[in-house]
Amino acid sequence: MGEISIEAGKVTDLPQVLDLIHELAAYVGFAKEVSNTVEQMEQDGFSNNPIYGLFVARDGQKVIGAAIYYYRYSTWKGKRLYLEDLVVKEGMRKKGIGKLLFEATMKKSLEEKCSGLMWQVLDENTNAIAFYKKYNTSFDRMFINCSLDVRSMKRILKVN
């Protein structure tokens, strides 16, 4: 392992970032759920109106970790930064890379004057839970996550 750098992700990093996303999905048992593409990520994150940002951990030219975030709004708390994914390549875990990415995301939240940082962690991902506990994280057991996919909404609304 060479010197690790943490920096804002670039379009050219997206193929490696998507590989990390696939690796994370497989790790947590949801490998078949990833439908995103490099092209979609480029459009969503690098257009005139990006809807997400990312940091990458780089070992030379190789992306070995990523933190993907976006802004959300809480009617109770105001602007918040939401950490969508924090992933480090499997062979590079437990070397402090996740810490560097997580703390870069915290700094971004503070720089952007957000009222806090939020994220989800699967209850089965004991390694991630142990990692976040080191930061005195509040774990919310009251709110249930909800979602509707495109297919369901179209069916409900009877649109194509």
Greatest distance between any 2 Cα atoms in the chain: 54
Owner of token pair 């390694």: 127
What residue numbers bound the domain in which 64 lies?
4-157
CATH value at residue 67: 3.40.630.30
Active-site amino acid positions:
132
Residue type, 47: S
Handedness of CA 139, 55, 53, 8 (dihedral sign): positive
pLDDT > 90? residue 149: no
The residue type found at 136 is: N
Q: Please tell me which of 121-125, 128-132, 138-142 the model is most confident about, judged by mean pLDDT.
A: 128-132
Give this prediction's pTM. 0.90
Domain count, the chain: 1
- Write the CA distances from 131 to 18, 72, 121, 126, 134, integer angstroms: 23, 23, 11, 8, 6
What tokens appear for 72 in the block? Answer: 């959300």
pLDDT in tens, 11-50: 999 999 999 999 999 998 999 999 999 999 999 999 999 9
1 has pLDDT over 80: no
Summarised one tens digit per residue, pLDDT across range 59-104 is: 999 999 999 999 999 999 999 999 999 999 999 999 999 999 999 9
